[in-house]
Amino acid sequence: MLPFTHDALTALFHNYNTGIHPAPWVMICGALLALLCLLKPENIGGRAISAILALFWMWTGGVFHMVYFTPLNFMGPVYGFFFLMQAVLFLAVGVVMGKLDFRLDKSLTAVLGLLFAVLALVGYPLVEKLTGLANSDLRFAGTAPGPTALFTVGLLLTVKKRKTALLMALIPLAALGVEIYTGFVLNLPFDIYTSAAAFCAAALIFTKKQTA
């Protein structure tokens, strides 16, 4: 069970999106920039993507979970802590150390990663819009937990180094697990199917050849 209903969650996102406008559009631009950086194999592309993802997780953890979600769910501070931890990991491992080599190649893992990233960016708001929700009620990558975690896992599927990708995917995968449970309880099929598919696709990280 959850301490909130679907209607309460929708109302939360309405108040949240209204309060942070135009942040969702800024984050969408950041997500598009991250996808463009996949085409640049140089280290600067990996650092840029890591910085963008760090911003996404920092915002979602500090603003959404800590400020908006906590009054609705007592687990909000816990979720916020782990989201902020993920932001620190991206800053440390990806930006400072430069160990996240995002690269879009022709492998199945990378292609699926791009698919999930696009689903997170476009699929979430599109499906919710088709169900009749107003623009102010929609969830977006960079400001909402579900699409942010899905977008992150998608990009991590393009990272060349297996051990690094696995380390960085632990918290996003846990967030997708929460998304699956929430979708099941609140009857949100898109959340269940996309999160479960990304969760399974992440197993493809084990098929990557380990590089130095």
| 107 vs 54: which has the higher pLDDT | 54
- Strand partners of residue 159: 102
Q: Give the DSSP H or E segment for 200.
A: helix 189-201
Query: Given this model, what pLDDT does residue 74 score?
Result: 94
Chain CA centroid to CA 175, Å: 8
- Token pair of 101, please? 């080599």
The reported pTM is 0.94
Range of lowest pLDDT (58-67, 108-117, 135-144)? 108-117
Rounded Cα–Cα distance for residues 84 and 2 (Å):
23
Stretch 139-155: mean pLDDT: 96
Distance CA 195, CA 146 (A): 8
pLDDT of residue 212: 47
Q: Tens of pLDDT along 134-144?
A: 999 999 999 99
